[in-house]
Chains A and B, each alone.
Chain A
Amino acid sequence: MKITLQTYLPCIVFLFTILNSTQQLSADEKKKVYDLPLDQLVNFEVVSASRFKQKSSEAPSAVEVLTAENIRNYGWRNLADALGAIRGLYTRNDRNYSFLGNRGFSRGGDYNSRVLIMIDGRRMNETIFDSGFIGEEFMLDMNLIERIEYIPGTGSSVYGANALLGVINVITKRGKDIDGMRIGGEAGSLGTYRGRATFGKQWSNGAELLLSGSHYLSQGNERLYFPEFANINGGIAQDKDHERNNRAFGKFSFGDFTLRGGYISRYKQIPTGSFGAFFNENNFSVDNQGYVDLDYLTQVNPNLDLEVRGFHHWYDYYAIGPYNADDKSILSREEADARWWGGEVKLTGTQFAHHKWITGLEVQYDQRQHYNNYDIGSPPPSFDRKNSGWRAGVYVQDEYRITDSLLLNVGLRLDQHHLIKHLQLNPRIALIWDITPTFTTKLLYGSAFRAPNILEHDLNTAKAILPQEERVKSYEAVAEWYPGNSVKLLGTVFYNDISRVLQSDPVTFNTVNTGKFSTLGFEFGAEKNWDNGRQLKLSWTHNNTRDNSVNGGSWATDSPKNLVKLHYAEPLLDNKLRLGFEEIFVDERLTVAHKIAPSYHLFNINLALTKPIYGFQANLGVYNVLDQHFKIVPGPNYVQDTLTGDGRTVRFRLEYGF
């Protein structure tokens, strides 16, 4: 769908009308409540607390959190930028999608299917490739994000499939956080622009609304040089790096109900000649994803919360590219469409002393999982597959406070998935011991699974060889020390045993569960936040990830042994401005062709207003300041063994709120 200004305009005009017709601003109303004398306050009815609880991840600690303030301080342009700042994670963009590596484990072309990506606690991985989008193909603009939670390790004991290496939960802002209308614009290098309108409000009867829409456009690199294609147009992909997206997100809550919905349509040209496409020809992909989710969260009694929800998601994808068939150029079209819906019932209870328990049942019907790949103009489809089926999971978790200093968290989930034969039972156990009030240790164990995606499931020529689930067992020990003065120090030791990893058999090209990987590593983290807003944060992840599926085992591909991250934010001009520095070091990696991709530094600087001036909020970011020609390792379907990332770029953002 082509969205023009004509379609936007009526909406904007209407939002203005809503705003003008509003009698009372909630900020004033709140001020009134703050100022009420005690004898009136005691007569106020407390609105059920449960519905205002921010949806937070159900995980036994070890959670890393990025806040809206961090996003502003460091000027992250999209989710991938933000995730790249987290201890143990590394991202790469292959000029089509953004990918996430996790504590040394990264498989080319897995579209983040081994991580669970959530918005407000809702699974966003689609049901064709299981992709979890994080780049401009992710559904949310950064200004809508209240915080990002990252739970390293296994998450299947609560969330089921795909939570193999970690769970990322992106929590959206509330209508009252926006409190009015905000119009924003972004302009930057490589012909990049974004326009955005966001409206948010809470009314006196408790109803709350958040609505946002945006359009993004990037011309990308005019000329991209790939020496591997030197015989075609001198190796230059000319004007083949365009990207654009349209995003919409809304949230409306009233009483105990919350309705959420989101939509993204992303178009990206593919300049790399990947998957055997002709180089420097028009080749692109389009991903459309949307969802609606209706949630009912209520407090049955002070010790029991009940949540019931229903959801419907859809995903459409197509890619068109020119390929060689009998020395003729033919256009090939790959397409997929998926629909899925389901529901969940969840109970959270605190009636037993020292226990907080959660139990739930989640059901999902994969109504349509359709994948097709054919040559345009040739009648018989070359590969057309349709699937459907049920998945269900039942889970229970208990947080047991054994003594004031000892906490045990045990979770267990049983999953049935229509693409695999066996039931999956995945536990997670965490023992948390506060040795002193300022020194905490944690021991964690968990397992998780990932079912094959539709492509892996249906690709095999012999139906007898049906691929089964991948498995991981993870062990971790954590020590946290708070020596005072707002300093936090952290150390971890972790071991991941990943087995039955799906990979393509080099002879038969069948997808088989033959991959075996192991990761042993440790992390250090230090953080200090000053009262005036200054922040210093440092993390170092070291790991040794082995690919044990090859003879005798070897260093896994795309696995940097060291990741070092430094973040520093400094308030300027009486805290009117915030200057943020970000330095990310990614160590050398083994490529698919068994060469070495050199280590690199990414250094970014961002300058932001801390509070709007006359309603204007401005932000200027310079990315890859040192103009490093850093190399990333793309997936196996590339002629190139490494790809070069973007050099120095600048992005300016201006937002007006009223």
Chain B
Amino acid sequence: MSKAKRFMRLNRGLKSIALLWGIAGSHPLLAAPSSEIQVLTVAYLNNFMKLSEWPTTQDKELTLCVTQEGELAKELDSLVDAETQPHTLKIKRLLQGDNASQCHLLYLSKDEKPLLVQSWLNSLKDLPVLTVSDKEDFLDQGGMVALIEQDGRLQFEVNLTQVEHVKIKMSSKMLQIARDVRKK
């Protein structure tokens, strides 16, 4: 290959990369701030932990439990790296059959088997573990916080009866922002 040809090839290559770069960089900003669902979910969980108080207040380390590998579990690992909590944060991956009583917060995905969700909720009925899920009927099943996507926004609902039953204190701010707070 002659040098001239080689230069032309290089030049062409650079141009196409530059074009790609242009597309990636110059896209107009969206009107509303937006984010991937798993980043938002992790941001919510981060807030829930800041705005809740567990009866075992001496805990310096908060344990956040998750039952499935995947994008959310990976995102939680980067939450630990981001160090946004006043507490040290620990992510624990649970397998079915594992004891969840050591968790402060347990996140159950809507992809989780129904039988398993129910069995975890039953085993935690009287324990101060904040249960959160994106499952629609989660509060009816005895869960505490449900994350619900509506009109392209992520919202949440709280089952305060269950939260108070296990003596977790939720800040009034959190309850104000909740789309719905259930209390018998």
Contacts and interface: CB of A to CB of B under 8 A. Distances in A.
Do A and B actually bind?
yes
Interface of A: 10-11, 14, 18, 27, 30-31, 33-47, 49, 52, 54, 65, 67, 177, 203-207, 209, 252, 254, 302, 401, 404-405, 434, 437-438, 482-488, 529, 531
Interface stretch (B19-27, B52-60, B125-133, B161-169): B19-27
Given A31-B84, A41-B40, A45-B30, A483 B115 contact: no
Given A207-B27, A404-B118, A434-B115, A52 B84 contact: no
A38 B153 CA distance: 12
Interface residues of B, number: 59
B56 to A, nearest CB: 19
Contacts of A27: 78, 81-82
A35 B84 contact: yes
Interface of B: 10, 13-14, 17, 20-21, 23-25, 27, 29-30, 32-40, 42-44, 46-47, 51, 69-71, 74, 78-79, 81-82, 84, 92-99, 113-116, 118-120, 149, 152-155, 173-174, 177
A46 B97 contact: no
Contacts of B79: 34
A487 B92 CA distance: 14
Nearest to A54: B71
A172 B42 CA distance: 23
A486 B30 CA distance: 43
Contacts of B177: 38-39, 42
A484 B97 contact: yes
Given A37-B47, A40-B33, A482-B98, 10 more contacts: A14-B14, A34-B39, A38-B47, A42-B153, A44-B32, A44-B34, A45-B34, A45-B152, A209-B24, A438-B119
Contacts of A46: 34-37, 40, 149, 152-154
Contact of B42 (A34, A302, A486): A34
Contacts of A35: 43, 46, 82, 84
Contacts of A52: 36-38, 71
Contacts of A206: 34, 36
A285 B174 CA distance: 66
A14 B97 CA distance: 51
Contacts of A485: 98-99
B23 A486 contact: no
A637 B169 CA distance: 74
A54 B38 CA distance: 12
B75 to A, nearest CB: 8
Contact of A437 (B13, B23, B97): B97
Name B's interface SS: helix
A33 B154 CA distance: 14
A30 B116 contact: no
Given A27-B78, A47-B35, A437 B43 contact: no
A404 B121 CA distance: 15
A50 to B, nearest CB: 10
A405 B96 CA distance: 14
A41 B29 CA distance: 18
Nearest to B20: A252
A65 B70 CA distance: 12
Nearest to A483: B97
11 contacts: A30-B82, A34-B39, A34-B79, A41-B44, A46-B34, A47-B34, A49-B37, A204-B29, A206-B34, A437-B96, A485-B99
Contacts of B81: 27
Contact of B98 (A45, A54, A486): A486
A44 B27 contact: no
Contacts of B37: 46-47, 49, 52
Nearest to A205: B27
B35 A33 contact: yes
Nearest to B177: A38
A34 B43 contact: yes
Nearest to A439: B97
Contacts of B74: 177
Contacts of A31: 82, 84
A404 B115 contact: yes
A277 to B, nearest CB: 33
B47 A205 contact: no
Contacts of A34: 39, 42-43, 46, 79, 82, 84
B153 A44 contact: yes
Nearest to B94: A486
A434 B42 CA distance: 30
A203 B25 CA distance: 8
A38 B17 contact: no
B155 to A, nearest CB: 6
